[in-house]
Amino acid sequence: MKRALESVLCLLLSALSLFFVAAPANAQQPGPQPLVGPIEHFEFLSRYDFQLEVNVLSGDNGNQYRWDAHYGGAVDVFNYVKGRTSFVGDYEVVLGSELRPFDPNQGNYILEPSTSWFIGDNEFAFVFHHVSRHLSDRPKTYAVAYNALLGRYLRKFQFGDNSVSVRTSAGHLAQHSQVDYTWTVDWDVMARHRMNPHLEWYGRTTGEVFGVDPLIRLENRGVQHTARLEIGTILTGTKANLELFVGAEHRLDASLLDFVPVSWAIAGFRIVNK
C-alpha cells in the first residue's frame, strides 16, 4: 500500500512538474470553449485555454490501461466580432504496466482549425478535425488516423450562479486510415454551480458516436460510441482552476490493435486556466 501511494504521488508530482515547465509552450485541449456571446470589437489572440488532466482507470483491463492523461489547449487567433478563427491541439497518453510500472503504450493527437459565426448568442462553426493514433515502445509501420469535416454548435447559458456550456458537432469523414468510421457526432456538456468565490460543483458529459462501414474491415460492428460522465468540484485559483472528479467512461476501440470497446471507472484532476 505504501509503495502504491508513493507511485501515485510520484506521478502527480511529475504531471505538475510538466505543467509548470511546459505551460508557456504549445499547450492544447480538444475544442474551443463556448462563449456567452460575441464581443464588440476585433481582437488578435483574444483567448487562450489550456488543460492538464490525469486520470486513474479501474476495471479488469489487464495491464494495458492504468492511467490516462491529456495536455492540450485552444487559441482564438482572430475574433472578428461576429465570429472567431481558432486552433486546437491535444495530446493524450495512455499508460499501462506491461513493461514497467508506468508504461506509455499509446499516444493520440488531435489537431483542428475552425472558423465560426454568431447568430445572436448562438455560435456555429466549420471545423477540420484530425486524429492520429500511435503506439509507444512498440512496432507499428502503418497509420491509424482520420480527418473529419464537421459543423459545430457552441453556446454558454448563464443563470446567476449557474451555467451550462454546450459544444456539439456532426460531420463526415473525408479521409481515414485503418479505421472503419464514416460519420461522427460528438458532444461536450458541462453544468456548473457556484457555491462561493472559491468553490464550484460541476457535472459533465462528453462522448462520440461513429457510423461504421462494414466493407472496410469485413465486419458489421454497427454504430460505435464513446461516452464519459464525471462529477466533481472546482477549486478557484488566481490564474487557474483545479478540478477534482470521479466518473465512468465507455471508450470505443481503446486499443489500436484489437479495436474493441472498454469500460472503466475514473478518478483524477484537471488544471484549467481561467
What is the secondary structure of 25-87 as a DSSP string?
Answer: S----SSPPP-SS--SS-EEEEEEEEEEEEEEE-SS-TTT-SEEEEEEEEEEEEE-SS-EEEE
> What's the chain's length in residues?
274
| DSSP H or E segment with residue 14 | helix 2-22
The pLDDT tens digits of the residues spanning 233-257 come to 999 999 999 999 999 999 999 887 7
Q: How many other CB atoms are there within 10 angstroms of residue 137's CB atom? A: 10
Q: How many other CB atoms are there within 10 angstroms of residue 235's CB atom? A: 14
Over residues 2-21, mean pLDDT: 37
Of 66-70, 139-143, 230-234, the one with minimum mean pLDDT is 139-143
| Structure-derived torsion over alpha carbons of residues 73, 110, 95, 7, reported in degrees to the nearest 10 | 0
pLDDT(263) > 50: yes
- Tell me the three state secondary structure of residue 256: coil
pLDDT computed for residue 61 by the predictor: 66
Predicted TM-score (pTM) of this structure: 0.82
| DSSP H or E segment with residue 215 | helix 214-217
Over residues 55-72, mean pLDDT: 84
CB 114 within 8 A of CB 126: yes
pLDDT computed for residue 23 by the predictor: 33
pLDDT computed for residue 247 by the predictor: 96
pLDDT(95) > 80: yes
- Out of 3.40.710.10, 1.20.1250.20, 2.40.160.40, 3.90.1150.10, which CATH number does the structure's domain 2-273 have? 2.40.160.40
pLDDT computed for residue 215 by the predictor: 87
pLDDT(29) > 70: no
Query: What cell does 69 get?
Result: 492523461
Return the percent helix, strand and coil in the chain, to nearest 5.
Answer: 10, 60, 30
